[in-house]
Structure 1
Amino acid sequence: MRVLVLRPETAAARTAERLAALGHEAVRLPLSKAEHAVDAVKAALAQPHGAIAVTSAEMARLFERIGGAPAADRATAVFAVGKATAWAMRDAGFAHVLSAAGDGESLAGLIAEHLRANGPLPHPLLYLAGNPRGPGFESRLAEAGIPFRTVEGYRMVPLAPSGTAVDAALLQPVPDAVLLYSRESARAFFALAPLAEAPGRFTALRLLCMSANVAAAVPERFAAHVAIAAAPSEESLLALL
């Protein structure tokens, strides 16, 4: 299958490798890139914190830029949203990483369960977040009475690929499927000129969504082509192929 990948370049390259291993052709068309707030993260880590929470593997890429986990935090408990993020944080040098089931609410539940079993943290939880992000994780922490501090470690910035690049990815030939990881990428995808101007060209395109939240950003005219991953993980998303 010809599969369109809209992720930022570094993540897209890894997804393309996985698709190739499954026998598919990956077509990369990044619609965003990450801007890392290195100084803000360094300043946050210099303040007292009892544990770290991350909801994207993008934070691990920031740590790669600064030489990996700081020595003072290599044994600090890190709560990661899912397996892929947990592996990435371990690769970045964090030794004590606990993994949730793949979304913010499950991550908040994991932290609450850990604190019930082990007692409260000596300092607030440090949430190294991205922008944009959903409110679920922080809301659940607040509901559970868990002290935390949010610091934005990266911001996703939209990219505007050239018309030539868009046409090559979408029309030469039309992909069999597109992987939609976030609401933002779904909105950006359907704003591309070929989709907006001639949606009838894409009647056979499968829209593979990471979650129901992502699927909700798909325009109604394409709703019949949506499939939603059984769990919010890349493994489950690729299983839809």
Structure 2
Amino acid sequence: MRVLVTRPEIAAARTAGRLKAMGHEPVHLPLAKAVHDLPTAADALRQEHAALAVTSAEALRVLAAETLRPLIDLAKPLFAVGEATAGAATSMGFSEVHASAGDGADLAGLIAARSGTTTAPILYLAGNPRAKTLESRLAEFGIPFRLAEIYEMVAVEYEPDDLASRLNNAHAQALLLYSHETAIRFFKIVPADLAALAGTRILCISERTADAVPAAFRPLAEIAESPNETALLALL
């Protein structure tokens, strides 16, 4: 099956490997790229914090910068959404990594269960845009936290004719959508009557992502059982 992958370059390469191992053919159409904010990350790491929280592996790619490594205390607990992000943290050298199986709300519950009674804040290293479920749930739990936006996902621009040509030539049987924001972006730039999407399965990582699929395409949308890539690819 030919599968259209809309993730940024680095994440898409990992997804492509998984798709090939499953016998599928990935077709890459990146819709965003990450712009890292190293000064903001450095300032945040210098301030007192009890643990780190990340909801995307992109935050760890920011921390991998040479200028930031001396500021990172690898002995501090790190809380991550998903096993893939947790694995990336372990590979970086963090000695105590905790992973939630769901989204930011699930991660907040995990932090609440494991953070103890420390008064130092959790440092949430986040991107923009993002779902704000982690910070809202931490506030509900009464857990102190500090938010640092250390990267921004900016749109990759395509000319309309170029985009239509790419999609027509892709002949994709399935489209992978990993976030609400990506779904909005995709259907904002794709012509509503594009014949290339006729019959294409639209696979969404979460209900929130599916909510961004326009009504005309909703009959083609399917939602993963859990908000992670393994469950998303299981739809194939």
Instruction: Flag whether TM exceeds 0.5 (same fold).
Output: yes
TM-score interval, normalised by the smaller of the two chains = over 0.9
Give 1:163 shift: 4.7
After superposition, the C-alpha distances for 1:55-105 in whole angstroms (9 at most, x for unaligned) are 101011112233775465111000101111111111222121100113010
Calculate the TM-score normalised by the size of structure 1: 0.92
Aligned residue runs from structure 1 range 150-161, under 5 A:
150-161=147-158
Q: Distance in 1 between matches of 2:2 and 2:170?
A: 9
Tell me the equivalent position of 2:229: 234
Q: Distance in 2 between matches of 1:22 and 1:152?
A: 35
Q: Given that residues 177 and 183 in structure 2 are in contact (C-alpha distance below 8 angstroms), is that contact kept between their aligned partners in structure 1?
A: yes
Unmatched 5+ stretches in structure 1: none
1:137–1:99 distance in 2 versus 1, CA, 3 Å? same
Q: Given that residues 119 and 144 in structure 2 are in contact (C-alpha distance below 8 angstroms), is that contact kept between their aligned partners in structure 1?
A: no
SS of equivalent residue, structure 2 residue 62: helix
SS of equivalent residue, structure 2 residue 143: coil
Q: Does 1:90 align with 2:90?
A: yes
Residue-pair matches, total: 236
Tell me the equivalent position of 2:187: 190
Match of 1:202 among 197, 200, 210: 197
Match of 1:135 among 114, 121, 132: 132
1:44–1:70 distance in 2 versus 1, CA, 3 Å? same
Tell me the equivalent position of 1:80: 80
Q: Given that residues 69 and 93 in structure 1 are in contact (C-alpha distance below 8 angstroms), is that contact kept between their aligned partners in structure 2?
A: no
Moved over 3 A (4+): 67-72, 162-165
Match of 1:222 among 217, 223, 229: 217
Q: Distance in 2 between matches of 1:3 and 1:68?
A: 36
Unmatched 5+ stretches in structure 2: none
Q: Does 1:113 align with 2:110?
A: no
SS of equivalent residue, structure 1 residue 178: strand
After superposition, the C-alpha distances for 1:19-52 in whole angstroms (9 at most, x for unaligned) are 1111111110111000111111111111111111
Q: Distance in 1 between matches of 2:195 and 2:148?
A: 43
Q: Distance in 2 between matches of 1:53 and 1:138?
A: 10
After superposition, the C-alpha distances for 1:153-197 in whole angstroms (9 at most, x for unaligned) are 11100111345652443101431001000111111111234x33x
SS of equivalent residue, structure 2 residue 3: strand
Paired letter, 2:46: A
- Percent identical among aligned pairs is 50
RMSD: 1.7
